[in-house]
Structure 1
Amino acid sequence: MKLVSCMRQALLIFIRDEAGAVNKIRVKGPSGFHEISCKSVILACGGFEANQEMRTRYLGPGWELAKVRGTQFNTGDGINMALAVGAQSFGHWSGCHAVAWDLNSPPHGDRNVADLFQKHSYPFGLIVNVDGRRFVDEGADFRNYTYAKYGREILNQPQRVAFQIFDQKSLDLLRDEYFIQEVSMIEADTIEELAIGLDINLKNFSHTISTYNEAVEPGEFNPTILDGKKTIGITPPKSNWAQTLDTPPYRGYAVTCGITFTFGGLKIDSKGQVQDTSDNPIPGLYAAGELVGGLFYNNYPGGSGLMSGAVFGKIAGQNAALEAMTPQRSA
C-alpha cells in the first residue's frame, strides 16, 4: 500500500478558508498552476541558509559570500509562505549556525564528502587570519560549544579566510576530516615556510607564534578535559589545551565560513502549531525542524538541532494527523 507521495513541485502560497484554517496549497508543476486540498500541513523545509538575499538582509553584509554546508534548496520558502498568511516571525533572525569549512569546498554541500569539509580540531592548535594574527580563543571550551559560532568569526576576517595551525605534537589528535583527499592543507618544516605556503603575512605570523609560545603556561596537557593549560599575557588568550608550536612538521589548513542553518523562523506552540502575530494558532499549519524560530540564540550546543527536529517533528506530525482526522473545524 502506498502511504507517501512525493511531488517535485514549487509551493507558492497557502490558502485559508473562512475560519482561517489552511485548507489548500497552490503549487506550480509541469502542467501549470493548480491547488491541492488539505486538512493540515507540516512545514519542515529548513531555514533560509541557501538564500543569498535573505542571508544578507538578516545576517548582514558578507553573508551572501558564505559557503552552504548542505542543500541549495533551503531558501526560506516555507517561512515566507507562512509569513504571507499571517504567521509570526520569531527567534534570532540575525543569528545562524556556521562553522570552519574547507576553503576550496564547493558552494553547496557535496553528498559524497558529506560533513568532512568541516575542520573542528582547532582547540588543539591555533587559528590565524591572512594577516598572521589570531582572533579567537581556540580553547575557550569544548569544540561542541564553540564550533557553531566560530564560522561567523572567520567570515569577519580579511578575505573571509582563516588557517588552523598545528605542529607534530597535535597531529594524532586531528579528526578524520583532516585526512580526506579534498583538503586544503600545507605542510612545512619551518614556520617561515608554512607562512609562505599559506600566503599569509610572514612577519606577523612569526611574531604571533613566538609570542604565543612564550605565553604558554606550564602544566599537564589533557585533551579529554578542560585542562586549564592556558596562556598568560596575550590577547586573545588560549584558555585550555595551550601547547607550544615548536615541533615540525607544521601543518596549516585553510578554512572559510560554512553556514549550516539559520536561527530565525516561525513561532510554534507546544503542539507544533504555527502561531499568528496575535499568538493564536493558525488552524491546519504546523512546523518542525530548522524553520522553527526561538530555539537558538547566538550559539548552539552540538547535536541539539537533530534533537529538536526529532522532538518537534513527532509532536507536529501527531497533532497534524489528529487535526486531519477531525470531521469538521469550528470557526
Structure 2
Amino acid sequence: MFDVLVIGGGNAALCAALMAREAGASVLLLEASPREWRGGNSQHTRNLRCMHDAPQDVLADAYPEEEYWQDLLKVTGGATDEALARLVIRASSTCRPWMRQHGVRFQPSLSGALHTARTNAFFMGGGKALVNAYYRSAERLGVEVRYDTPVDRLELRDGRFSAAYSGTRRFSARSCVLAAGGFESNREWLREAWGMNERGEHPADNFLIRGTRFNTGTLLRFMIDAGADTIGDATQAHMVAIDARAPLYDGGICTRIDCVSLGLVVNRDAERFYDEGEDFWPKRYAIWGRLVAQQPGQVAFSIIDAKAQGRFMPPVFPGTRAQTLPELAQALGLDVAAFMQTLDAYNAACQPGTFDHTALDDCHTVGLAPPKTHWARRIDTPPYHAYALRPGVTFTYLGLKVDETAAVRFGGRASPNLFVAGEMMAGNVLGKGYTAGVGMSIGTAFGRIAGTRAAQSALQENVRAAA
C-alpha cells in the first residue's frame, strides 16, 4: 500500500506528489491521459503570477501583496475568499526556489507579453517544459506514475479515504490528493450548466476547449454526489475569446486573440457590446470568452487597422484582411450597412489623445455606448484585419470547498486523509474572472499544501499502525 495517492497529472498534482515524497511518504500518481498528453492544462501555461517586494531575477520593480490582492479582488468582483487568496499570494513569493530545485527554469517576460514583466515569472520552454521537469524530478525521487488511468470513483467511509478505482482496478493508500481538474471537457455537463438561452440556443454547443480533453469532471461529479462541500457557480470559468478556427481541444495559448484592446469588437449583428479598453489586457482577457458566449451564435469579431499591427502577440492563424471596411464586413458575412454604422459612430466618438498601450492612456470615446475607456483610436488606416472569436474554456470554477489545510470537507467537517488542489478547488479563490498566471499560483500553493498534509496524515497512520 502506498502512503499517498495523487489523482491527476498537472501542476497541482505534481507539486503535491513532490512535496509528499520529500516529506518521506511513498507516492503513486495516477494520470488519466497517455504519457504524450500528460500534464493536463498545465502543459499550455506560460507563467506564474508572483508577489515580490523588490526586483528579482526575471521580475521587474515590485508587486506587493496588497496590489496583487486588489487586482484579484477587482477581477473577481469580490467573489473570492480573502484568507485563501492571501495564502496563495504569499505562497507565490516563496515557491520559485523550490520550483528551480525540481528543474523549472524561468525567463524574463518577452516584449509585448501583456505588460507582465513586473507581475509574472515566465517558464523557459512554457508549461510543457515545467510539466516535464516535474515528472523527471518525481521519477528520480521514486514517485510511481501510471498513465492511461482515469479514476472514476473513490471508496469513502465517514469522510475518510480508503481507495480509488479506475474501472475494475483498485488503488488503496493511507491518504489521497485530488487534483484531476474541472469539467470543461464534459459537453453534457456544460450544456446542463448553461442551459438554453432566450434565443433557443445551447451556448455550450459552440464552446471550444483551450486545454486538455481529459478533464471530464468524473471525479468532481462523484465527490459532489458523495456529499462533499462545494463552492462556485457551474457557469463560471476561465473563459477566453479565442480564434473561431481553433481546434476543439488543446488549442492553448496560440489561439488566443490579443488585439481586442487595440480595436473594437462586434457581434454577428455588427453591434459593439462591451468596453474594449476597460483595463489592461492581462486583467480583462479572461472576461471576453464569457462576453462572446452571451452573444447571438456565440460568435464575435475583433476589428483592427494597420496602426495596431505589431503591438500584440499574433495568433497562429492570420486574420481576415481587406483594403476597405465594407469589403471587410462582406468577407466576415456581416451586414455592411450595420457594420459601417457601428464603425462610423465609433470613429466619430474617438477623442484626440496620446496613445500609450503600456498605460491607461487618455485615448477614449465620448457619447458612445458602450464607451471605450482607453486606447480608443479611429479605425481608418488600411489594410484592415478581423478575427472571428469563439468562447474558449480553459477550466471551470465549480469545485470543492476547502480551508487553509486543503482538506476536503463533508458537512463542514474536514476529512482526515483526503485533500484537494488545483482546478478542483480554484473556485475558492476564483468565484469569477481571472488575471494572468493566477491559476498556476493557486495550483502551486495548494498542491504543495495538499501534498504536505497528505504525507503527514499517512505517516501518522503508519506510526499508529506500528504502535
With normalisation by structure 1, the TM-score equals: 0.91
Specify the alignment match of 1:284 in structure 2: 417
Q: CA deviation at 1:300?
A: 1.3
Specify the alignment match of 1:42 in structure 2: 177
Counterpart Cα distance in 1 of 2:409 and 2:205: 29
Q: CA deviation at 1:176?
A: 3.1
For the 8 Å contact 2:152–2:219, the answer to whether it is kept is no
The one-letter code sitting in structure 1 at the alignment partner of 2:164 is I
Corresponding position: 1:161 with 2:161 = no
Q: Secondary structure at the match of 1:36?
A: strand
Specify the alignment match of 1:240 in structure 2: 374
Specify the alignment match of 2:384 in structure 1: 250
CA, structure 1 residues 84+40, in 2 after alignment: closer, same or farther (shift >3 Å)? farther
Question: Which structure shows the bigger proportion of residues in helix conformation?
Answer: 2
Q: CA deviation at 1:51?
A: 0.8
Corresponding position: 1:93 with 2:217 = no
Corresponding position: 1:8 with 2:148 = yes
Counterpart Cα distance in 1 of 2:224 and 2:341: 52
Q: Which one of the candidate residues 192, 195, 199 is aligned to 1:57?
A: 192
Q: Secondary structure at the match of 2:451?
A: helix
Alignment of 1:253-272 (within 5 A): 253-272=387-406
Q: Secondary structure at the match of 2:307?
A: helix
CA, structure 1 residues 94+155, in 2 after alignment: closer, same or farther (shift >3 Å)? closer
Q: CA deviation at 1:159?
A: 2.0
CA, structure 1 residues 22+316, in 2 after alignment: closer, same or farther (shift >3 Å)? same
Q: Secondary structure at the match of 2:174?
A: coil
Counterpart Cα distance in 2 of 1:197 and 1:205: 12
The one-letter code sitting in structure 1 at the alignment partner of 2:259 is S
Unaligned regions of 5+ residues in structure 1, if any? none
Question: Which one is further off, 65-74 or 296-305?
Answer: 296-305
The one-letter code sitting in structure 2 at the alignment partner of 1:209 is L
Counterpart Cα distance in 1 of 2:343 and 2:412: 54
Specify the alignment match of 1:68 in structure 2: 209
Q: CA deviation at 1:296?
A: 1.1
Question: Which one is further off, 93-102 or 204-213?
Answer: 93-102
Counterpart Cα distance in 2 of 1:256 and 1:303: 22
Unaligned regions of 5+ residues in structure 2, if any? 1-139, 197-202
Q: CA deviation at 1:27?
A: 2.3
Specify the alignment match of 1:151 in structure 2: 289
For the 8 Å contact 2:224–2:230, the answer to whether it is kept is yes
The one-letter code sitting in structure 2 at the alignment partner of 1:149 is I
CA, structure 1 residues 325+216, in 2 after alignment: closer, same or farther (shift >3 Å)? same
Counterpart Cα distance in 1 of 2:322 and 2:147: 52
Superposed structure 1 runs of 4+ greater than 6 Å apart:
none
Counterpart Cα distance in 1 of 2:404 and 2:223: 18
The C-alpha deviation readout for 1:36-56, integer Å capped at 9, x for no partner, is 211111111111111112112
Specify the alignment match of 2:360 in structure 1: 226
Q: CA deviation at 1:5?
A: 2.4
For the 8 Å contact 2:259–2:304, the answer to whether it is kept is no
For the 8 Å contact 2:363–2:375, the answer to whether it is kept is yes
Counterpart Cα distance in 2 of 1:311 and 1:230: 39
Counterpart Cα distance in 1 of 2:429 and 2:345: 40
With normalisation by structure 2, the TM-score equals: 0.65
The one-letter code sitting in structure 2 at the alignment partner of 1:41 is C
For the 8 Å contact 2:258–2:314, the answer to whether it is kept is no
For the 8 Å contact 1:87–1:282, the answer to whether it is kept is no
The C-alpha deviation readout for 1:155-195, integer Å capped at 9, x for no partner, is 22222111111111111212132xx3x34x21111111111
Q: CA deviation at 1:97?
A: 1.2
Q: CA deviation at 1:109?
A: 1.2
